[in-house]
Structure 1
Amino acid sequence: MSPALVLFDIDQTLLNTGGAGIKGLHNAFAEVFDLNQDEHPELDLAGATDLGLLRDFGFQRNIAVTDELTARFFDTYVGHLEHHLAASDDGRVLPGVVNLLETLSARPDEFIVGLLTGNIRRGAEAKLNHFGLSSFFNTNLGSYGDDHFDRNLLGPIAKQRVTGITGHAIADQRILVIGDTPKDIRCAHACNVRCLAVASGNFTAEQLAEHGADHVFEDLTNTAAVLELL
């Protein structure tokens, strides 16, 4: 049997940055667009893509989001993100995550571990590095919030990259997306795979179930229960 593919969201699924992410985004918007404090956009980060946040801001303010502007914005954001990660003691890896990742990584013939996140790739790498999780991931295995603004289109990108690296396609029934928001659920279902939703973020287990999650856990502390889904 081919190995199962497990695609993880990052924020509120693997870790909590203690506000470093949203602070970095606000700093980037303020610096790149010369905003006053009262002009900062209201950012709904739950399941959003970073590119989608920038694109929506440009649409609302009638600003053309060019490739040059996008590159400048994300360069600025990553610098601020790294600063806030280093300056904060509030962030943490969420319960059960390290044990689960250690277990999956120790069995490479059975499991492939990847990412499916709204973070841009450099932002994802900064967060994983800061919290000591980068060794568990080959960041070529997955998709990111700078691959497309629409999260529902990130699943096919992740599947294509995994196929390109491993040399074989993984059957949809052998793929599990793990995330904490309704957008993670919709993203998984958009590419015909299952979603394990964890109530470690801003949504309760009941809310996640109502949004159609295939499986719902309060957190990732029960490694054996996760493995039973694979």
Structure 2
Amino acid sequence: MKLVLWDVDRTLLYVGDTDRRVYREVFREVVGREAERLPARGTGVTMPLAVRALLTANGVAEAEVEELAQRIVDRMPAQLARHRDEMRRSGQLMPGAAAALAAVHRSHGLVPTVLTGNLRESAQIKLDTFSLLEHLNVSVGGFASDNSHRPALVEVAQRRSAAAYECEFHRENSVIIGDSLEDVRTGREGGAKVIGVASGTTSSGQLADAGADHVLPDLMDVELLLNVIDELASSTS
């Protein structure tokens, strides 16, 4: 069997400015003032790390960062859920994402799940909003709520999948599909091959230079995607 680890934001879907609105709203609720600086877009950094950076960038004292960061993280999913209608209006599925997910889900021997910088609940809200959950086994995925260090999530997903499917998963039969340099780093350091998709803020050249094993412009060519997964996950190099 082969483990297929899907990134969420800008690989499968894009929620427009909703994430940034949620950061602003929860920061204001917890800190008591407006955030002047927000996290950079499309970096793939896990939410807990992004929240800590948000607090630091907005002048919160170092001694208060950890406590306030946890309070913000705890509130993020519920606040995101309040914006489902906005996500549907201003967000979108990435080109080819629904067909690609469905094809991987139908393919014998492929285990499709999620590896994301989102918290588990936030990821599920986004995927459900765009009707993608049926193509994924999120119970065996890796999420920022498991570990804020994204490369560590590969082992989390491999271990969960091994228990669920009674098959050992490792670098040679695990593939990450993602759009950011953080997705590439996660695979290289965490133990998975990487298919870079130039659907986010990172170019094909940047993904290749960072060490992606294969780069696609988008997810439109489903047959090509399946062939690349099969080739990478069958390699022992």
Q: If the length of structure 1 is used for normalisation, what is the TM-score?
A: 0.90
CA distance in 1, matches of 2:83, 2:151: 29
1:91-130 alignment, distance < 5 Å: 91-107=91-107, 109-130=108-129
Q: CA deviation at 1:57?
A: 4.1
How many pairs align?
223
Give the corresponding residue for 1:12: 10
Paired AA for residue 65 in structure 1:
E
Give the corresponding residue for 1:23: 21
Deviations 1:165-204 (A, max 9, x none): 2222124211110000111000001123210010100011
Contact 1:152 1:188 in 2 (8 A): yes
Aligned equivalent of 1:43, options 39, 43, 61: 39
Contact 1:24 1:78 in 2 (8 A): no
Deviations 1:71-109 (A, max 9, x none): x423422232122231341211111111111112123x3
Contact 2:15 2:91 in 1 (8 A): yes
Give the corresponding residue for 2:50: 53
Q: CA deviation at 1:41?
A: 3.5
CA distance in 2, matches of 1:178, 1:97: 11
CA distance in 2, matches of 1:140, 1:153: 17
Paired AA for residue 91 in structure 1:
G
Give the corresponding residue for 1:78: 77
When you count helix as a share of all residues, which structure comes out higher? 2
CA distance in 1, matches of 2:205, 2:69: 40
CA distance in 2, matches of 1:166, 1:207: 35
Give the corresponding residue for 2:233: none
CA distance in 1, matches of 2:196, 2:30: 35
CA distance in 2, matches of 1:40, 1:164: 45
| Structure 2 SS opposite 1:144 | coil
Structure 1 pair 31–40 and aligned structure 2 pair: CA distance change class (3 A)? farther
Paired AA for residue 105 in structure 2:
S
Paired AA for residue 116 in structure 1:
L
Structure 1 pair 57–42 and aligned structure 2 pair: CA distance change class (3 A)? closer
Deviations 1:134-174 (A, max 9, x none): 11122111111121121122111111111122222124211
CA distance in 2, matches of 1:115, 1:42: 25
| Structure 1 SS opposite 2:29 | helix
Question: Alpha carbon RMSD of aligned pairs, Å?
Answer: 1.8
Structure 1 pair 146–103 and aligned structure 2 pair: CA distance change class (3 A)? same
| Structure 1 SS opposite 2:90 | coil
Between 1:54-63 and 1:183-192, the stretch displaced more is 54-63
Structure 1 pair 164–58 and aligned structure 2 pair: CA distance change class (3 A)? farther
2:62 counterpart of 1:65: no
- Runs of 5+ in structure 1 lacking a partner? none
Give the corresponding residue for 2:86: 87
| Structure 2 SS opposite 1:112 | strand
Between 1:74-83 and 1:89-98, the stretch displaced more is 74-83
